[in-house]
Copies of this chain bind each other. A is one copy, B any other.
Amino acid sequence: MSIPVESFYLKPAIPGTLQQQIRQMITDGVLSGRFRAGERLPSSRALALHLSISRITVTLAYADLMSSDYLTSKGRSGYFVSFSAPVHLDVTTPKRQRNKGLNYDHLTQRRYSQAPAIARPTDWQAYPYSFIYGQPDASLFDHQNWRHCAIRALGKRDFDSLTSDYYQRDDPLLIEYILRNILPRRGIDARADEVLLTMGAQNALWLSAQLLLSRQNDGARRHAAVENPCYPGFRRILDQMDCTISAVDVDSFGLPPQDIPTQVDVVITTASHHCPTNATMPLSRREALLKSANDQDFVIIEDDYEFEMSFFKPASPSLKSLDGDGRVIYVGSFSKSIFPGLRMGYIVAPESFIREARALRATVLGHPPGHVQRTAAYFLSLGHYDAMINRMKSAFKRRRQVMDDAIAAEGLSVAGQGGFGGSSIWMQAPEGVDTEVLATRLRQDGVLIEPGQGFFDAARGSFVPQNCYRLAYSSIAIGKIAPGIALIAAALR
């Protein structure tokens, strides 16, 4: 590897002769680790030309650096960073830099990094019994066909989709597939200008919240009601906004409409499959919720996650499918069902809402990359998506049965499980158990569980049970389930 000549600048602030400056640039590069042993330096001629200085100045600096063992020369092939060059220790470099200059904690008010999140070790794959949610399962992902579709999407014929700005419209192939094949399964009939692609469901929820819950032009705060417990990523969005938040406790049928405070502007719900309890809202309650929305004039954001994983019986239709008035903003996602790193979701809403969401998306991030859109369009329309979902469903169904058996055999208590399927079970440890402590202890046995506290709304004084936890079976091998559950049961005894 060669060090590019563009790495060198004469900085006016550095004192000393030109020769000393060159020496310092190179020693700085070596000591900071930017220039590495064996890398070739620019020729003295090229560097002299680049810096508009005399070549002899560079040659003298290089000779000096050779005598102090920073550089070596290999005859006519040039100058290289020496393998025995001094190396700064990593421990000291960061310390020096961390202490210098402005600290942004005050300026940014640390308002984003302090949000609570579900703890998840980055090396989760190293744990044999990993009951954590939403991670990819390499054995189920259709890697070969995804790659095949990506190669096709990168072909000459698709050059436009690769390089176009997608501000004004998303990939028409992908939107068409969503309209004609995905949404009808959820009972939703929509037009192209009623759908917007987003960077995963998180981005869809964020955009919707910005549009509906920012302070009004007259300065009035808006009011959101959110399920308790709920998906922590959504509460994080609300906590960072300047709006009033009410947490509404769910029961075993999800969100009770009669408990929604009057005067709310927006209600957020995972009606078809509550996160994390897996409750499904019955039809009568959905109708009551929509009636409340009409009577009290609020809008509903429906996060319709994981409907694809319906292996026991068909998923109940979405809340949006019952919505005759455009009061439901529907959020869907492919990130979980294809793979998490994909970051692809969508919003379905009336055109007047989508227009604003599209404009806001352009300001915040531009648009989702075009070639990812096209790759997904091929993966879906060639039928690979449906085939993969089927494979996932049968794997999850088998795992779920083993989960249910092991949980029953060990006498653990289930607090909520999806009637149609899903990928996790909401559990309850005996009274007095703190599942944060339990999770830490189980890590030592190679078992990962998700403590439940993070799903509850601690900030607004709601009761936070200490003994709930979630067990997901989305990325655990079937043979690991029973021994993993046994380890949990042993830890609880």
Contact = CB atoms under 8 A, between A and B. Distances in A.
A215 to B, nearest CB: 8
Contact of A203 (B7, B217, B240, B365): B365
Contacts of A299: 102, 107
B102 A350 contact: yes
Given A191-B94, A356-B110, A138 B150 contact: no
Contacts of A358: 113
Nearest to A148: B154
Interface string A324-355: 11110000000100011111000001111101
Given A154-B147, A184-B34, A326-B101, A370 B356 contact: no
Interface in A177-192: 179-181, 184-185, 187, 189, 191
Contact of A360 (B93, B105, B112): B112
A206 interface: yes
A11 to B, nearest CB: 7
A391 interface: no
A174 to B, nearest CB: 14
A356 B189 contact: no
A97 B136 CA distance: 39
Contact of A6 (B162, B185, B322, B352): B185
Given A104-B353, A108-B353, A163-B138, A366 B203 contact: yes
A60 B410 CA distance: 51
A53 interface: no
Contacts of A143: 154, 156, 159, 162
B202 A13 contact: no
Contacts of A292: none
A335 B180 CA distance: 32
Query: Copy number in this complex?
Result: 2
Nearest to A286: B12
A203 B366 CA distance: 7
B7 A185 contact: yes
A75 to B, nearest CB: 25
Which of A3, A215, A341 has the most C-beta atoms of chain B within 10 angstroms of its own C-beta? A341
B7 A200 contact: no
A349 B12 contact: no
Nearest to A167: B117
Contact of A100 (B101, B122, B325): B325
A371 interface: yes
Contacts of A12: 283, 287
Contact of A324 (B100, B211, B325): B100
A341 B112 contact: no
Contacts of A84: none
Contacts of A341: 161-166, 369-371
Interface in A83-112: 93-94, 97-98, 100-105, 107-112
Contacts of A411: none
Nearest to A51: B314
A9 interface: yes
A146 interface: yes
A444 interface: no
A115 B359 CA distance: 8
Contacts of A325: 100-102
A137 to B, nearest CB: 9
B154 A103 contact: no
A395 interface: no
Interface string A181-219: 100110101010000001110110010000110111100
Contact of A364 (B168, B181, B185, B206): B206
A18 to B, nearest CB: 16
B339 A162 contact: yes
B355 A113 contact: yes
A104 B349 contact: yes
Nearest 10 A/B pairs, CB to CB: A101-B326, A7-B184, A112-B359, A6-B185, A136-B163, A341-B370, A199-B365, A104-B353, A113-B359, A104-B352
28 contacts: A4-B185, A6-B184, A6-B185, A11-B187, A11-B317, A11-B322, A12-B283, A13-B322, A94-B191, A100-B325, A101-B326, A101-B327, A104-B353, A107-B299, A108-B352, A112-B211, A112-B356, A143-B162, A147-B151, A151-B154, A199-B199, A199-B365, A202-B365, A206-B364, A215-B242, A237-B363, A343-B366, A343-B368
